[in-house]
Amino acid sequence: MTRPFRTPPHAPRPGGPLSDLDAFITGLPKAELHVHHVGSASPRIVSELAARHPDSAVPTDPEALVDYFTFRDFGHFVEVYLSVVDLIRDSEDVRLLTYEVARDMARQNIRYAELTVTPFSSTSRGIPDAAFVEAIEDARKSAEAELGVVLRWCFDIPGEAGLEAAEETARIACDLRPEGLVSFGLGGPEIGVPRPQFKPYFDRAVAVGLHSVPHAGETTGPGTVWDALTALRAERIGHGTSASQDPELLAHLAEHRTPLEVCPTSNIATRAVRTLEEHPMKDMVDAGVLVTINSDDPPMFGTDLNTEYGIAARLLGLDAAGVAALAKNAVAASFLDAPAKARLAAEIDTYAAEWRG
Ligand SMILES: [Zn+2]
C-alpha cells in the first residue's frame, strides 16, 4: 500500500478518438518523477508474474485480469494490491516487473523515470537485499539499452511499517548504494505518521549524496509539507496537494524552486481532492511553483502518464506549447545531470517545433 485508500478509484479511462492535443501528448518525449514500482504492474505484467506462480489466486488470462483490476470497492483494491505484492517472490520476479514497467513507459514515450522502489517490501518477504538490488540494476541497464528508457531509483520508506523499515531502507540505500539510486523517499499514510521522526534516516541518505523526496501534504495539511522541508530537507515534494491552502508555503516553494510532483487522478481516487475541477494545480502554477505531472500507481488508478497530461492541459488551459513547457518542468525538476537535462529538453523542443511545422 502506498497510501490510505478511502474509495474505489474513478479514474477517467483513455479511449475514443484522439484529439490533436492528445496525439501531441502521446508522441511527446516525457520524464516522470513520481511513479511506484509495484504500483506500475499492469494487467499484462501481473499475468506474466502469475504465470510464474501457478499456485497464486491471481488469474493469468489477460481478459480475466482486466476484470480482476476493475475495483469494486476499497477492500477489493487492497486485495488486488496485496495479491500483486505476493507475486513478487524472488529476484527474477523483481527483474521481470522492473523491465516490463519500462516497456510500458516506452510505449508512452517516457524517456526518463525516477521510479519509487520500496526495497523493504521485498527484503521483509525474504528476497536478499543484494539480490533485489542486482535485479533492479540488471533491468535498468537492459531497459536503457533495449527500450531507450532511462530509469533511476528513489528508495522509499513505507511509513506505515515504522522505524524498523526506515532503518532497513536507509541501510540498503547507503550501504549497497546501487548506481541507479538518486533519491530517498517516504510513502504510506501521513495521518498518524509524523514526518520528523524519519529525520535521522534522511540525514544519513543526504550525507551519502542522495536527494530528499518525501511524500507530504497528500492527505494532511500544509504543516506536513513544512515538516518535510525543514526536518527531512525535501528538495521535491511528493504530491504537496495541501500546499495550496498556505500562500506563504506556496511562495516559499516558488522562491526556492522546490518542485511539486502532482498526480491528479491519484488525488481523486484517494479522495485527497474531491473532483478534478477542484484540483489546486492551477493555484500552484499561478503562485509560480514548479509543477510536474505524474501518474503515481497508474494501472491501479486506471490511468497513464499521457492521460494525466491530458487532464493537466484541460485544467490549466494549455495548448501544445504549454504542454511541452509542462513536460520540460519535469526535466528541470529531475535529478539528471545538466547535459542530460539539456538533451531531453532539446528533444522536447524539436518535437514541439516539428508539430507546429
Ligand atoms: Zn506516491
Predicted confidence (pLDDT) per residue in 174-190, tens digit: 999 999 999 999 998 89
Say how many Å lie between the CA of residue 187 and the centre of ligand 1: 6
Q: Report the distance separating Cα 93 and Cα 243, nearest Å.
A: 38
| Average pLDDT value for the chain | 92
Q: Please tell me the predicted confidence (pLDDT) of residue 173.
A: 98
Compute the half-sphere exposure of residue 153: CA atoms within 13 Å on the CB side of its CA: 27
Mean pLDDT, residues 105-129: 97
Q: Please tell me the predicted confidence (pLDDT) of residue 74.
A: 64
Confidence of residue 204 (pLDDT cuts 50, 70, 90): very high
Compute the half-sphere exposure of residue 296: CA atoms within 13 Å on the CB side of its CA: 28
Nearest CA-CA partner of 35 in 120, 97, 128, 79: 97
Mean pLDDT, residues 5-24: 59
Q: Report the distance separating Cα 45 and Cα 236, nearest Å.
A: 30
Q: Report the distance separating Cα 243 and Cα 236, nearest Å.
A: 13
Q: Please tell me the predicted confidence (pLDDT) of residue 16.
A: 53
Q: Which residues pair with 117 in a beta bridge?
A: 155
Question: What's the grid cell of residue 344?
Answer: 531531453
Evaluated on CA atoms 280, 281, 282, 288, the torsion sign reads positive
Q: Which residues pair with 261 in a beta bridge?
A: 238, 292
Q: Report the distance separating Cα 9 and Cα 142, nearest Å.
A: 33
Grid look-up 537535462 returns 341
Q: Please tell me the predicted confidence (pLDDT) of residue 17.
A: 61
Residue type for 350, please? T
Q: Please tell me the predicted confidence (pLDDT) of residue 8.
A: 34
Burial class (CB in 10 A: 0-12, 13-18, 19+), 117: buried
Question: What's the grid cell of residue 194?
Answer: 509524523
Give catalytic status of residue 63 as yes or no.
Answer: no
The answer to whether residues 84 and 49 touch, using CB atoms and an 8 Å cutoff, is yes
Q: Report the distance separating Cα 4 and Cα 131, nearest Å.
A: 30
Q: Which domains does the chain have, with CATH numbers?
A: 20-356 (3.20.20.140)
Q: Report the distance separating Cα 80 and Cα 76, nearest Å.
A: 6
User: Beta-strand (E) ranges in the chain?
Assistant: 30-36, 110-117, 150-158, 181-187, 211-216, 237-239, 260-262, 291-293
Q: Please tell me the predicted confidence (pLDDT) of residue 131.
A: 98
Q: Please tell me the predicted confidence (pLDDT) of residue 13.
A: 39
SS3 (DSSP) at 30 = strand
| pLDDT exceeds 50 at position 5 | no
| pLDDT exceeds 60 at position 11 | no
| pLDDT exceeds 90 at position 327 | yes
Mean pLDDT, residues 103-108: 98
What are the phi and psi torsion angles at 124 (to 5°)?
-75, -15
Q: What pLDDT digit, counting tens, does each position of 221-270 carry? A: 999 999 999 999 999 999 999 999 999 999 999 999 999 999 999 999 88
Q: Is 146 left (phi over 0), alpha (psi -120 to 50) or beta?
A: alpha
Residue 53 CB coordination number (10 Å): 16
Q: What pLDDT digit, counting tens, does each position of 24-83 carry? A: 999 999 999 999 999 999 989 999 999 999 998 888 887 888 888 777 776 777 788 888
Say how many Å lie between the CA of residue 262 and the centre of ligand 1: 10
Q: Please tell me the predicted confidence (pLDDT) of residue 83.
A: 86
Q: Please tell me the least confidently modeled range out of 8-12, 55-59, 98-102, 198-202.
A: 8-12
Say how many Å lie between the CA of residue 33 and the centre of ligand 1: 10
Mean pLDDT, residues 93-102: 98
Mean pLDDT, residues 303-312: 97
Say how many Å lie between the CA of residue 243 and the centre of ligand 1: 16
Say how many Å lie between the CA of residue 121 and the centre of ligand 1: 15
Q: Does the global pTM surpass 0.85?
A: yes
Say how many Å lie between the CA of residue 263 and the centre of ligand 1: 8
| pLDDT exceeds 80 at position 21 | yes
Of the candidates 137, 218, 235, 308, the residue annotated as catalytic is 218
| pLDDT exceeds 90 at position 4 | no
Say how many Å lie between the CA of residue 305 and the centre of ligand 1: 14
Confidence of residue 9 (pLDDT cuts 50, 70, 90): very low
